Amino acid sequence: MEEMARTILVVDDDPEIRRLVAALLSREGFDVRTAENGIELDDVLRRVRPDLIILDLMLPGEDGLSICRRMRSEGAFPILMLTAKNDEMDRVVGLEVGADDYVSKPFGPRELLARVRALLRRTQSQPLQAASRRYSFDRFIIDLDARQLTDEDGEPATLTSAEFDLLTCFVLRPRRVLSRDQILDWTHGRTADPLDRTVDILVSRLRKKLESLSPGNTLISTVRNGGYLLTVPVRQVS
């Protein structure tokens, strides 16, 4: 199966949720590890590098937001966060500190699997190809196959999986206004929620990172009642 080699770490203090999610993912062929809190999560990470972390925000001790922020400073694990159904602010903050997607509790098995598979598809390594898909814009080089962004000095820029996917949308369609619905469709596919604020939050995160590395340049602009666009030209490089 496609998922046999994929390892997923489920972090939730509710033993019933851990059991149900682990059983669901195991039946689908995933290698599932579980943790009750941040301490157990760190213990698992010393032994295993997961392909994806499912992280509950409401944890005892170090909460999910703190863990998410720490994971972003230490590595590039894709993070799918679990939030309470009506806690929109928690979802917004979670996305702002680096989560790639979220599922609200209570959730159905099909929804969770769809989110997991969509996130894994977006973050998996690209197959080797005869021609490299490398592009330059402003003072950056983006390698779509290696999933890496570097500056003009060759220094890598740290992007989350979701931020890289968003930047890819802009690089492949430069100087073209992209609506929120288009971006959601290209980055989330059928799991997209038309009322989702994910795009606005991700654009804000990506814009801040790019502009911190290229001061004085507005690389992504907002088009009123239209969406967003990459303002600079893009060219393919060898």
**pLDDT tens, position by position, 48-63:** 889 999 999 889 899 9
Ranges of the chain with pLDDT below 70: 1-5, 73-76, 85-87, 124-132, 188-196
pLDDT tens-place string over residues 154-194: 889 988 888 898 999 999 888 889 988 888 877 765 455 54
Q: What is the pLDDT of residue 147?
A: 87
**DSSP line for the chain:** -TTTT-EEEEE-S-HHHHHHHHHHHHHTT-EEEEESSHHHHHHHHTT---SEEEEES--SSS-HHHHHHHHHHH----EEEEEETT-HHHHHHHHHTT--EEEEES--HHHHHHHHHHHHHHHSPPPP-SS--EEEETTEEEETTTTEEEETTSPEE---HHHHHHHHHHHTSTTS-B-HHHHHHHHHGGG--TT--HHHHHHHHHHHHHHHHSTT---EEEETTTEEEE-S-EEEE-
pTM, full prediction: 0.61
HSE-up of 203 (CA within 13 Å, CB side)? 22
Q: Which residues of 212-237 are buried (b: 16+ CB within 10 A; e: fewer)?
A: ebbeeeebbeeeeeebbbbebebeee
Q: What is the pLDDT of residue 30?
A: 92
Percent pLDDT > 90 in the chain is 36
Do the beta carbons of residue 35 and residue 60 sit within 8 Å? no
